[in-house]
Amino acid sequence: MAERRFHGIAASGGVAIAPAFLFTDPADGEAPSPAATGRVEEELARLHRALEAARTEIQALYDAARERVGEQEAEIFHVHAMFLDDPTLTKQVEEAIRRGESALAAWRQAVEAQAAMLEALNDPVFSARAVDLRDVGARVAAHLAGKAHALALPSQPSIIVARELTPSQTIMLPHELVRGFCTVQGSKTSHVAILARGLGLPAVVGVDAAVLDAARDAALMIVDGETGEVIVSPTEETLAAYRAREAALARARTQAQASAAAPAITPDGHRVEIGANLGGGGRAEAEQALAFGAEGVGLLRTEFLYMERTAPPDEEEQIAAYAPYLEVMAGRPVIFRTADIGGDKDIPYLNLPAEANPFLGQRGIRLSLARPAMFRTQLRAVLRAGAGKRGVKIMFPMVASVEEVRAAKAHLAAVRQALEAEGLPHAQDVEVGVMIEVPSAAILADALAPEVDFFSIGTNDLSQYTLAADRTHPEVGPMADALHPAVLRLIKQVVEAAHARGVWVGVCGELGGDPLATPVLLGLGVDELSMAAPSIPAVKAAVRAWPLAEAQALAAEVLALASAEEVRARLEGVERKGL
């Protein structure tokens, strides 16, 4: 079979070389739902037994995911459990049973109706929820049909090729035999991508469906999680090149991990601070970040506290959630990003109206300012959690104007005054910063700088807003490339404006954790990089390999290029220092 190449979205880094295993969903080709027995109470009892059996299985999946990939990624299965406890869904099924439907038919119809409704919203976040709901639906349906929810699994090391993988299917695969993933559906933020990154497995999603037929007859496949390329039946020449690259990446990972605890200092003595992006895993997550070499928390996502619940978290609950991060970091910086929530996240108790484009709607600091009581509760909790501790920093997301920063700071000042009046201990000398993720904020960096102590550039959103390309969209997602010269020029502008006023600049988007981009960010003058903890050793190694003057020359060179493709080609053509 001749070599065939496909291109998709690079969802999890690394290179995998192994036989393709074409995954088929056990739900495919399911028999039609049986007719009702005529005994309503018996069908209702069967439904509730199936729901309880599914709850037990999902708890086991959560435990397995937490052990294998960590607390944050395992939260996916808490979402699954909530679907089982959804009173609206259960009521629909029970009413259909009372009308004479079988439990299985009623369950399938209700699940599919709700999933189709989520998909009709035409939003990647809700589309991911539809996948979750169907995953849960198939699990319960299997129990109602009286058969095991079993998967056909590989018996040798393989690359899993599928039209789509649900979270439970992904976590149930024998990870010792999985070398990587290739899926037709999915985005960089889909659950299979999140789990693949947590498992440290290369993954490419959004690949043309023709890859399924190609994989069926393929003896061997290559998945390049760095570039998004999938190669089916590679030639000997291609295979040799990728095996060499795979070996080089493995050596680099081993060497980088061995020196992860050492600081990131260039050969000519310039130091870059390295932090971890965390949120939701508490003490264990913070301890793991330290083990990877984190020098602090460059981004603590606090919205995990607001998700999957029926009321907002109160002050005491938030204090209890924030305190472990500060305790583990023991004086190292911890940047609390205030809740970055809005219409793009499903939070029923906020009663947010449906928005045609939630990424341009009321989210981040906009929502916080519109809900001052909720905002002030969070600010109080952060300050109180930081009482007697050093390193507490607060950052506001989705800032687009100076007025928003001033309004947010006014709330913070009022909270401080209230805590003083109440005699409650709270953090002192707290630095305040803003996320630079909206083009207007980047352009206004010189006006924003006098208002804050630091900037943190969120390259994910800055890229999609600058390039007008939804980064979660399977078709246009690859266009939202943070290495596009337009984005890099905005980063340069932000750094220059900040440094002119004594303000430091970090990068906490995905670009910050990409070793390919490290010399460019170093050359642009970025002071701090924050990323998923497993990426820290490789980025530290890249910093240590690049003299500042060389990095500055490289940055100047790529800024003059015309496209992200040209920038990537130039960076990939540079000797991979440190590898």
Per-residue pLDDT reduced to its tens digit, 481-507: 899 999 999 999 999 999 999 999 999
Provide the pairing of β-strand 20-22 with 158-162. parallel
* Strand partners for 435: 456
- Residue 73: pLDDT over 70: no
Give me the mean pLDDT over the 65-84 stretch.
Answer: 73
Statement: residue 334 has pLDDT above 70: yes
Say if residue 28's pLDDT is above 60.
no
Q: Is 499 one of the annotated active-site residues of the chain?
A: no
The stretch 523-538 carries a mean pLDDT of 93
**Per-residue model confidence (pLDDT) at position 408:** 98
Cα–Cα distance between 381 and 376 in angstroms, integer? 8
Q: Where do we find the tokens 């994989």?
A: 215
Dihedral (Cα; 83, 88, 90, 94), 10-degree rounding: -160
Exposure on the CB side of residue 344, measured as CA atoms within 13 A: 18
User: How much is the pLDDT for 509?
Assistant: 86
The question of whether 182 is a catalytic residue gets the answer no
Least Cα distance to 119 among 109, 132, 136, 137 occurs for 132
Sign of CA dihedral 417, 421, 422, 426: positive
Cα–Cα distance, 235 to 94 (Å, whole number): 57
SS3 at position 29 = coil
Tokens of 103: 């439990």
pLDDT band at residue 83 using 50, 70 and 90 as cut-offs = confident
Mean pLDDT of 146-174: 79
Instruction: Give me the mean pLDDT over the 129-157 stretch.
Output: 79
- Residue of 11, 82, 547, 570 whose CA lies nearest to 348: 82
The residue among 262 and 124 whose pLDDT is bigger is 262
In angstroms, rounded to a whole number, what is the distance separating the alpha carbons of residues 375 and 532?
26
Q: Which residue has the higher pLDDT, 505 or 117?
A: 505
Weakest mean pLDDT among 136-150, 207-221, 420-434, 520-534 = 136-150
Q: How confident is the model at residue 36 (pLDDT cuts 50, 70, 90)?
A: low
**pLDDT reported for residue 27:** 53
Percent of the chain surpassing pLDDT 70:
90
What value does the mean pLDDT of the chain take?
A: 88
Cα distances from 497 to residues 27, 146, 325, 445, 518, in angstroms, run: 56, 65, 31, 6, 21
pLDDT computed for residue 35 by the predictor = 53
- The one catalytic residue in 80, 143, 149, 191 is 191
With beta carbons less than 8 A apart as the criterion, state whether 485 and 559 touch. yes
Mean pLDDT is lowest, of 48-57, 67-76, 236-245, for: 67-76
What is the pLDDT, as a whole number, of residue 388? Answer: 96
Mean pLDDT of 507-513: 91
pLDDT exceeds cutoff 90 at 333:
yes
**What DSSP character marks residue 469?**
-
Residue with tokens 């006006």: 447
pLDDT reported for residue 578: 45
- The number of beta carbons lying within 10 Å of the beta carbon of residue 19 is 15
**Given this model, what pLDDT does residue 148 score?**
57
Out of 25-34, 389-398, 408-417, 525-534, which region has the weakest mean confidence (pLDDT)?
A: 25-34
Indicate whether 461 pLDDT > 80: yes
- pLDDT at residue number 224: 94
Q: Find the helix or strand (DSSP H, E) in which 505 lies.
A: strand 504-507
Q: What is the pLDDT of residue 445?
A: 98
Please report where in the chains the tokens 């439990």 appear, as a residue.
103
Of the candidates 80, 149, 484, 508, the residue annotated as catalytic is: 508
Residue 340's SS3 state is coil
Q: Which of the pair, 383 or 152, is modelled with greater confidence?
A: 383
CB atoms within 10 A of CB 492: 19
pLDDT band at 123 (very low <50, low <70, confident <90, very high): low
CA neighbor of 518 nearest in space, from 231, 272, 286, 319: 272
Q: Which residue has the tokens 């095996």?
A: 243
pLDDT in tens, 86-111: 888 899 999 999 999 999 999 999 99
pLDDT reading at 579 higher than 50: no
Q: In what order do the strands lie in the sheet with 20-22?
A: 9-12, 203-205, 178-183, 158-162, 20-22
Residue where the block lists tokens 């609950």: 317
pLDDT digits (tens, 9 = 90+) for 465-486: 999 987 656 457 668 889 999 9
- pLDDT digit string, tens, across residues 295-321: 999 999 998 888 767 889 999 999 999
pLDDT of residue 29: 45
Tokens 């993988």 appear where? Answer: 165
Structural domains of the chain sorted by starting position, each given as residue range(s) with its CATH number in brackets: 4-26+151-235 (3.50.30.10), 40-144 (1.10.274.10), 273-432 (3.20.20.60), 437-526+548-579 (3.20.20.60)
Phi/psi for 159 (5° steps) reads: -100, 125
More confident residue, 440 or 284: 440
Q: Comparing 34 with 213, which gets the higher pLDDT?
A: 213
DSSP lists the bridge partners of residue 46 as none
What pLDDT, in 10s, does the model give residues 387-423? 999 999 999 999 999 999 999 999 999 999 999 999 9
- Matching residue, tokens 């600058």: 466
Question: Are residues 433 and 452 in contact, defined by beta-carbon separation less than 8 angstroms?
Answer: yes
